[in-house]
Structure 1
C-alpha cells in the first residue's frame, strides 16, 4: 500500500494529503458496517439486566419507531448506548459524537444528555440529585430528552417486548451514516467546530 514519506505532519505535501483524504473518504464509507459490528458486540456487554445491551438498544429503537419518531431519532435510539463498551462513564457523549455529523442538532443533543436525564430514575438511591436535568429545563430540546428517556430508554428492559431484529434497522442506519458529513441539509447551520451542544443553555 502506498504511504506518505513524512514522519511529521508539518512536512507533508499537497499530493500526500490528497492521497490521505481519498483514503479517509473510502474508509468513512464503511462506517455503517463498523457501527453494526459494534452493536452486535453489545450482545455480550454489561450484564445484570433482564436483557442484553443489544436487546435494550433494539427495544429502545422499536419503541421510538412505534411512537412515530423519524429515522434520525430511531437510529439515535438504536446506537444511544454504543459507548458502553469503551466509554462507560461518558457513553452518552460518545454516541452523540458519532451522530453529530449526520443528524439535526436536536437528535445529537438528546443523545448527548440522555445519560444525565436517565439519572432521574435511580441516582437518588446513591445520594445524587435526580432533578439535575432541570438545569436544562429552559433548553428547547429538554422535553424531547425527557420523552426519549421516559417513553423509550428507561422502559426498554422487558424480555417480553416484541423487539425487531437488528436487520430491520440496518437500511435506515445505512441511510443516515452514508450522508455527507456536516451537510447543512441534515445538520443545519453548524460547522465542524460548533454545534448546538456548544451553545448556551438559555
Structure 2
C-alpha cells in the first residue's frame, strides 16, 4: 500500500493529501458497518438491569418504529446510548456526535439532551434534581425530547418485550449513514 512520505503534516504535498482523502472517503463509507458491528457487541449489561444494552437499544428503536417515527429518528433511537460503553458520563453527547453529520438539528438535539431528560425518572431517588430538563422548556424541541424519553427510552427495559432485530434496522442505518453530511448541504 502506498503511504505518504511526510512525518509532519505541514510537510505533506497536495498529491499525498488527495491520496489520503480517497482513503478517508472509503473509510467514511464504512461507518454504518462499523456501527452495526459495535452494536452487535453490546451483549453485556451494566449490573442490575434485566436486559443488555443491545436489547435496550433494540426496544427503543422498535417502539419508535411502531409509532411510525421517520427513519432518521428510528436510527437515532437505536443509537441513542451508543456512548454508554466509552463515555458513560456523557453518553448522550457522544451518541449525538456520532449522528450529527447525518441527522437534522432536531434529532441531534434530542439525542444530545436525552440523558438530562431521563433524569426525570430517577434523579430524585439519588438526591438530585429530577427536573433538570426544565431549563429547556422554551426550546423548540423540548416536547419532542420529552416524548422520546417517555414513549420510547424509559419504557425499554422489559425482558419480555418483543423487539425487532438488529438486522431489521440494518437497511435504515445504512441509508442514514450513506447520506451526504448535513454540513455539506
Would you call these one fold, judging by a TM-score over 0.5? Answer: yes
CA–CA distance in structure 2, aligned partners of residues 75 and 164 of structure 1:
13
Q: How far did 1:47 drift?
A: 3.0
5 Å-filtered alignment, 1:134-149, equals 134-149=134-149
Q: How far did 1:182 drift?
A: 2.4
> Matched residue of 1:109: which SS?
helix
- Alpha-carbon displacement from aligned partner over 1:36-74 (angstroms, at most 9, x marks no partner): 011111112423211111000000000011111000000
TM (norm. structure 2) is 0.97
Q: How far did 1:183 drift?
A: 5.4
Equivalent pairs, count: 185
Q: Residue 128 of structure 2 aligns with which residue?
A: 128
Q: Residue 115 of structure 2 aligns with which residue?
A: 115
CA–CA distance in structure 2, aligned partners of residues 178 and 137 of structure 1:
34
The answer to whether the 8 A contact 2:45-2:51 is kept is no
Is 1:60 matched with 2:67?
no
In structure 1, list runs of 5 or more residues that go unmatched. Answer: 186-202
- Alpha-carbon displacement from aligned partner over 1:91-130 (angstroms, at most 9, x marks no partner): 1011100111011110000000000110111111111111
4+ long deviations beyond 6 Å: none
The answer to whether the 8 A contact 1:46-1:84 is kept is no
CA–CA distance in structure 1, aligned partners of residues 53 and 47 of structure 2:
8
5 Å-filtered alignment, 1:5-84, equals 5-84=5-84
CA–CA distance in structure 2, aligned partners of residues 61 and 168 of structure 1:
10
